[in-house]
Amino acid sequence: MTSGQPPRPQSAANVSTHFEQQREGLVREIALSLEQVLQNINRLNRNLESVITVGNEFSSVEALWSQFETVMGAGNDGNENEQERDRQEQEHEHEHEHEQEREREGADVET
């Protein structure tokens, strides 16, 4: 009692020690849980890195397919242009034939 603090009842001392024990137990549990979270995050990070590595291995394949698509697309554009040109020529020939027929009909009517 010479310390200047009032004496604690025995039951209050037991309650605080029980509280401190519970708190220490919970702190240990939290520390273990955080350690597990950290381990799982590290595992996830390694898995993501391996997925990215596998994805990067396909970049050359993707570039090759892109070139193939570009070449095939350019070839199709050329074919479409050629087909359009042929169609226009056929229409022009057809119109020219109609003009010749009209001229013949006009000449036949005059005679």
| pLDDT of 108 | 60
- Average pLDDT for residues 79-107, to the nearest whole number? 72
Q: How far apart are CA 19 and CA 24, in angstroms?
A: 9
* Burial profile 27-58: b = 16 or more Cβ within 10 angstroms, e = fewer: eeeeeeeeeeeeeeeeeeeeeeeeeeeeeeee
Q: How many CB atoms lie within 10 A of CB 95?
A: 10
Structural domain spans, the chain:
13-57, 62-111
Mean local confidence (pLDDT), 5-28: 77
Contact 7, 1 (CB under 8 A): yes
pLDDT score recorded for residue 63:
93
Tokens representing residue 38 in the block: 């950290």
Max CA distance (Å), the chain: 149
Residue 12 has pLDDT above 60, yes or no: no
Of all residues in the chain, the percent with pLDDT exceeding 70 is 71
pTM for this prediction: 0.45
Please give the Cα distance from 96 to 84 (Å, whole number): 18
Q: Work out the mean pLDDT of the chain and round it to a whole number.
A: 81
pLDDT in tens, 31-49: 999 999 999 999 999 999 9
pLDDT at site 90: 79
